[in-house]
């Protein structure tokens, strides 16, 4: 085989790793970098200059011409503004390059057009990017050549966060501080840090590029706004874990190579439930690096797809009637001396520290279910959450049989005497090797599931940044730890106090535990009886950011100020309104310029056929029936189209952002559905040759 890869050789090739720094930096500077990496603080100006120069030389040796401060504005994706390394030509006409410590540490991309929710009025529009030394710089190869990307945070002149990374870093510091208090109380004197580990599983669709270019909806909105279901959907479940098609296999091979070069520890890949849908999961990493890497994964997925003449769709619901895409946020806490605080061991009933941590997490999730749900919301995800293919919009926690049993014992008697065991897996075939089963089976319908040694938050949308869900999770758990530590540090009898606290937390927050079928209607009713919030949409969820409870929480742990929260709420309304506006305009465009003319043309030719058939003395009643049906649907379509045009005008006249967003949700979105329904029926009535763009079958099965 000619095109094999040497994994060890290419892994991290495009990353300015610590190993590369060690090779290229003077010993004292390298030591200073490691010190800052481990304990925070600032690099001295002189050292920053040395690091910047080494970084530049490495980048140029590898073909880079430009550098960029790579940041994550509130659009949910990443942004970059490229500057070249060129300074000026020397007297001899030779090009000189430079890159100073100052340029490494601080950038000022004007970037005032990014959403800021009013944090940046134009007269005070300064925005700075600041180097995140904990996330390594990397080289991006693209059509624009090779660019040195420096991961940064993005803040306003007055220090308010304008991005998704700053609050994430703040929340990691908050949980580190509180979790350290907890491990100290349990007698660990060695650990100096508690890290958040995050492993995101990313789902995506691939469709043929040329076909996608014939659909304005895919081009402008990343999802189909019209489309009748294909004759075959996902009912045979033959795509899930199915053999990967050759074209997709080649794509995955390239994608893996690109990601490995960028130091992304991408590990598993398989086909997903829906036709054309796939999944990729990297190995977990420290939260901010995992979040950066997830952004790199999404960008690289799109870029590599183009090389294979395909389009990668990251939208949460690209096709009606088949599963949408999500992103599972696997989350745990590990001390720097190697203890995973979420590892129950073989006998969780005896693992007091684990039970304590678990009880704090249950308390946090129950108390802030609204914020957690908010953190996983975006416009596209409104199509998924609560529709039987993704977790419901109601937050609950799945513990599994073993832990559920331990929790019940604790609540009932204050003591857990035993842990259920998994037992041996027996297949009834003597030649298959027997092995120890997990103590708990899986539950795929739970939004927040315990899976062995981590929680899996499954609500996050496929196109969304992982920053918000992890920021929220870190902060709400930090709060529960903080409250516990405040009490336990004062306790005379620690063992007794912990014991009582576990029981109290579990008893008080038992309502958040649900091990049943999250897709059932019975659960929706049951959840309501339990008083669990069921927040239906992104913009309803946005309001939870600025409740007193939320402001108190985020301000206490220095993650968001009230002003920042208000700004974020505003950005959500803005983004929602803009997104639906684009979708509605695209529908209007496709309906009036493509679908209606095609249907009119077809009905004209059908009418002529009918006359000819009649003249020939034959029976044209079937053709006539079809024609009547077509004109009925066409009429319905025209009516809905006129309504949508009116609604759009009205929406545009609403000045206040929140009101406008709600008008889009309550009025424009239902009219869009009214326009789609007859159009999808017409697709089934009109000659396929006349249909103006590729259908679901074309996109999902013949891509
Ligand atoms: P599952 O089968 O439960 O989905 P996998 O082993 O496939 O679990 O892992 C899914 C994701 O969870 C991967 O990204 C993996 O690296 C990550 N993961 C595994 N252990 C942890 C952990 N302790 N903390 C955070 N993420 C983890
Ligand atoms: Mg999983």
Pocket-testing residue among 200, 330, 450, ligand 1, by greatest number of atoms within 8 A of Cβ? 330
Q: Residue for token digits 């389009």?
A: 311
Question: CA-to-CA distance for 520 and 388, rounded, in angstroms?
Answer: 8
Tokens describing residue 376: 């996983």
Q: Which ligand is nearest to the CA of 444?
A: 2
Q: Specify the pTM.
A: 0.93
In short, whether 698's Cβ falls inside 6 Å of ligand 1 is no
pLDDT in tens, 316-348: 999 999 889 999 999 999 999 999 999 999 888
Q: Quickly tell me which residue has 């306790």 as its tokens.
A: 491
Residue 423 has a pLDDT of 60
Mutate to test the pocket of ligand 1, among 284, 286, 449 (most ligand atoms within 8 A of CB): 284
* pLDDT computed for residue 74 by the predictor: 87
Residue 400 CB contacts under 8 Å (≥ 6 apart), including other chains: 439, 440, 441, 443, 449, 450, 515
Q: Cβ(441)–Cβ(324) under 8 Å?
A: no
Q: How far is the CA of 291 from the centre of ligand 1 (A)?
A: 15
Residues of the chain with pLDDT under 50: 1-2, 122-123
Q: Which ligand has the shortest distance to the CA of 196? A: 1
Helix 287-307 with 165-185: angle, nearest 10 deg = 140
In this structure, how many other beta carbons lie within 10 angstroms of the beta carbon of residue 479?
23
Q: Which atom of ligand 1 is least distant from the CA of 200?
A: 14
Instruction: Give the three-state DSSP class for 224.
Output: coil
Q: Are 257 and 5 in contact (CB under 8 A)?
A: yes
CA of 456 to the centre of ligand 1 (A): 8
In angstroms, the CA 379 to CA 385 distance is 11
- If one counts every other C-beta atom within 10 angstroms of the C-beta of residue 415, the result is 10
Provide the 3-class DSSP secondary structure of residue 302. helix
- In angstroms, rounded to a whole number, what is the distance separating the alpha carbons of residues 148 and 52? 11
Q: Establish whether residue 286 lines the binding site of ligand 1, counting it when its CB lies within 6 angstroms of any ligand atom.
A: no
| 389 touches ligand 1 (CB under 6 Å) | no
Residue nearest to atom 6 of ligand 1 (CA): 283
Q: Which of 436, 304, 383 is nearest to 580 (CA)?
A: 383
Instruction: Name which of 699, 670, 692 is nearest 322 in CA terms.
Output: 699
Q: What are phi and psi of 546, to 5 degrees?
A: -115, 20
pLDDT in tens, 342-377: 999 988 889 999 999 999 999 999 999 999 999 999
Strand pairing class (64-70; 145-156): parallel
Q: Three-class SS string for 387-441? A: CCCCCCCECCEECHHHHHHHHHHHHHHCCCCCCCCCCECCCCCCCCCCCECCCCC
Ligand 1 centroid to 451 CA: how many Å? Answer: 8
Q: Is 284 in the pocket of ligand 1 (CB under 6 A)?
A: yes
Q: Relative to the CA of 268, which ligand 1 atom is closest?
A: 7
**CA angle, 248 as apex, 244 and 252 as ends, to 5°?**
95
Is the distance from the beta carbon of residue 440 to the nearest atom of ligand 1 less than 6 Å? no
DSSP 136: -
* Centroid of ligand 2 to alpha carbon of 456 (angstroms): 7
Q: Are 494 and 488 in contact (CB under 8 A)?
A: yes
Ligand 1 within 6 A of 400 CB?
A: no
Q: Compute the distance between CA of residue 600 and CA of residue 635 in angstroms, rounded to an integer.
A: 11
Q: Are 11 and 262 in contact (CB under 8 A)?
A: no
Q: How far is the CA of 3 from the centre of ligand 2 (A)?
A: 31
From the centroid of its chain, how far is CA 281? 13
User: Which helix (DSSP H) or strand (DSSP E) does residue 114 occupy?
Assistant: none
Q: Measured from the CA of 283, which atom of ligand 1 is nearest? A: 16
Across 237-316, the runs of DSSP E, i.e. the strands, are 266-271, 277-282, 285-286, 310-313
Spacing, Cα 410 to ligand 2 middle (Å): 28
The reply to whether ligand 1 has any atom less than 6 angstroms from the CB of 281 is yes
Q: Report how far residue 450's alpha carbon sits from residue 332's, in angstroms, rounded to the nearest whole number.
A: 10
pLDDT of residue 34: 94
pLDDT of residue 1: 46
Q: Considering every ligand atom, which ligand is closest to the CA of 281?
A: 1
- Whole-angstrom CA distances from 430 to 129, 425, 438 are 62, 12, 21
Please state the atom number of ligand 1 nearest to the C-alpha of residue 330: 26
Closest listed ligand to the CA of 341: 1
User: 509 C-alpha vs ligand 1 centroid, how far in Å?
Assistant: 26
226 lines ligand 1 (CB under 6 A): no
CA distance 104 to 50: 11
Q: Which domains does the chain have, with CATH numbers?
A: 7-162 (3.10.20.70), 575-701 (1.20.120.1560)
CA of residue 381 to ligand 1 center, whole Å: 22
Please answer whether residues 25 and 51 qualify as being in contact, where contact means their C-beta atoms are separated by less than 8 angstroms.
Answer: yes
Q: Which residue has the tokens 């002003």?
A: 563
CB distance 282 to ligand 1 below 6 Å: yes
- The partner residues of 331 in beta bridges, in order of sequence, read 198, 455
| Ligand 1 center from residue 282 Cα (angstroms) | 9
Give CA torsion, residues 261, 262, 268, 273, to 10 deg: -120
Residue 201 alpha carbon to ligand 2 centre in Å:
7
Question: Hey, whose CA ends up nearest to atom 1 of ligand 1?
Answer: 451
Nearest CA to ligand 1 atom 11: 199
Q: Which ligand is nearest to the CA of 200?
A: 1
Atom of ligand 1 nearest to the CA of 199: 14
- For the Cβ of 290 lying below 6 angstroms from any atom of ligand 1, the answer is no
User: Of the ligands numbered here, which is closest to the C-alpha atom of 442?
Assistant: 1
Residues 6 or more apart in contact with residue 659 via CB below 8 angstroms: none
CB distance 78 to ligand 1 below 6 Å: no
- Rounded CA separation 45/35 (Å): 15
Residue 342 alpha carbon, nearest atom of ligand 1: 23
- The verdict on the CB of residue 330 being under 6 Å from ligand 1 is yes
CA–CA distance, 61 with 275 (Å, rounded to integer): 43
Ligand showing the shortest atom-to-Cα distance for residue 438:
1
Cβ 319 under 6 angstroms from ligand 1:
no
Q: State the DSSP H helix or E strand holding residue 32, giving kind and residue range, or none if neither.
A: helix 27-39
The pairing of strands 266-271 and 277-282 is antiparallel
> For ligand 1, is residue 562 a contact (CB within 6 Å)?
no
Q: Is 139 helix (H, G, I), strand (E, B) or coil?
A: strand
Q: Which ligand does the CA of 339 lie closest to?
A: 1
Is 82:145 a contact under the CB 8 Å cutoff? no
Can you tell me the distance from the alpha carbon of 360 to that of 362, in angstroms, rounded to the nearest whole number? 5
Strand 194-208 vs strand 82-84: parallel, antiparallel, or unpaired? unpaired
């Amino acid at each position: 085989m000619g095109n094999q890869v040497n994994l060890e050789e290419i892994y991290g090739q495009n990353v300015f790793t610590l190993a590369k720094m060690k090779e290229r930096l003077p010993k004292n500077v390298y030591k200073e970098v490691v010190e800052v990496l481990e304990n925070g603080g600032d690099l001295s100006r002189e050292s920053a200059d040395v690091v910047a120069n080494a970084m530049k030389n490495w980048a140029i040796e590898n073909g880079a011409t430009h550098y960029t401060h790579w940041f994550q504005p509130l659009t949910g994706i990443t942004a970059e503004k490229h500057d070249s390394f060129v300074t000026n030509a020397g007297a001899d006409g030779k090009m000189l390059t430079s890159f100073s410590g100052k340029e490494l540490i601080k950038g000022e991309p004007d970037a005032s057009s990014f959403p800021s929710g009013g944090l940046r009025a134009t007269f005070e529009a300064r925005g700075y990017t600041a180097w995140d030394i904990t996330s390594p710089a990397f080289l991006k190869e693209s059509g624009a050549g090779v660019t040195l990307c420096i991961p940064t945070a993005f803040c306003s002149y007055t220090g308010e966060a304008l991005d998704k990374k700053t609050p994430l870093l703040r929340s990691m510091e908050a949980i580190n501080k509180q979790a350290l208090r907890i491990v100290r109380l349990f007698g660990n004197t060695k650990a100096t840090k508690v890290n958040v580990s995050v492993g995101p599983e990313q789902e995506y669709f691939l469709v043929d590029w040329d076909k996608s270019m014939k659909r304005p909806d895919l081009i402008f909105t990343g999802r189909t706004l019209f489309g009748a279901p294909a004759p075959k959907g996902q009912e045979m479940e033959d795509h899930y874990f199915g053999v990967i098609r050759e074209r997709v296999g080649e794509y995955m091979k390239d994608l893996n190579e690109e990601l490995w070069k960028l130091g992304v520890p991408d590990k598993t890949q398989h086909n997903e439930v829906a036709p054309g849908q796939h999944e990729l999961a990297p190995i977990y990493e420290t939260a901010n690096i995992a979040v950066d890497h997830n952004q790199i994964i999404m960008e690289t997925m799109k870029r590599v797809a183009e090389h294979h003449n395909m389009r990668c769709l990251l939208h949460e619901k690209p096709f009606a009637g088949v599963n949408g895409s999500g992103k599972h946020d696997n989350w745990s806490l590990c001390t720097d001396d190697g203890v995973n605080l979420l590892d129950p061991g073989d006998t969780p009933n005896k693992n007091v520290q684990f039970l304590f941590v678990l009880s704090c997490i249950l308390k946090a999730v129950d108390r802030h279910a609204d914020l957690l749900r908010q953190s996983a919301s975006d416009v596209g995800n409104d199509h998924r959450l609560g529709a039987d293919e993704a977790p419901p919009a109601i937050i609950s926690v799945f513990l599994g049989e073993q832990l559920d049993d331990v929790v019940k014992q604790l609540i009932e008697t204050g003591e857990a005497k035993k842990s259920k065991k998994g037992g041996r897996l027996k297949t009834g075939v003597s030649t298959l090797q027997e092995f120890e089963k997990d103590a708990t089976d899986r539950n795929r319908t739970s939004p927040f599931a315990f899976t062995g040694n981590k929680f899996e938050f499954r609500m996050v949308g496929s196109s969304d940044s992982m920053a918000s869900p992890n920021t929220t999770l870190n902060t709400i758990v930090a709060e529960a730890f903080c409250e516990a530590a405040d009490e336990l540090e004062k306790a005379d009898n620690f063992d007794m106090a912990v014991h009582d606290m576990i029981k109290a937390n579990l008893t008080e927050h038992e309502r958040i535990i649900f091990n049943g079928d999250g897709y059932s209607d019975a659960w929706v009713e049951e959840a309501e009886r339990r008083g669990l919030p069921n927040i239906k949409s992104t913009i309803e969820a946005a309001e939870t950011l600025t409740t007193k409870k939320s402001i108190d929480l985020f301000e206490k742990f220095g993650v968001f100020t009230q002003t920042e929260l208000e700004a974020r709420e505003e950005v959500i309304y803005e983004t929602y309104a803009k997104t639906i506006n684009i979708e509605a305009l695209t529908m209007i465009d496709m309906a009036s310029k493509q679908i209606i003319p095609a249907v009119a043309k077809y009905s004209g030719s059908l009418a002529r056929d009918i006359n000819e058939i009649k003249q020939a003395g034959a029976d044209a009643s079937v053709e006539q029936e079809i024609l009547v049906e077509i004109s009925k649907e066409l009429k319905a379509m025209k009516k809905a189209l006129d309504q949508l045009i009116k609604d759009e005008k009205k929406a545009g006249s609403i000045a206040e952002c929140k009101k406008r967003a709600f008008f889009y949700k309550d009025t424009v979105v239902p009219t869009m559905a009214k326009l789609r329904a007859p159009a999808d029926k017409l697709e089934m009535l009109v000659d396929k040759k006349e249909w103006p763009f590729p259908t679901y079958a074309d996109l999902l099965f013949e891509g």
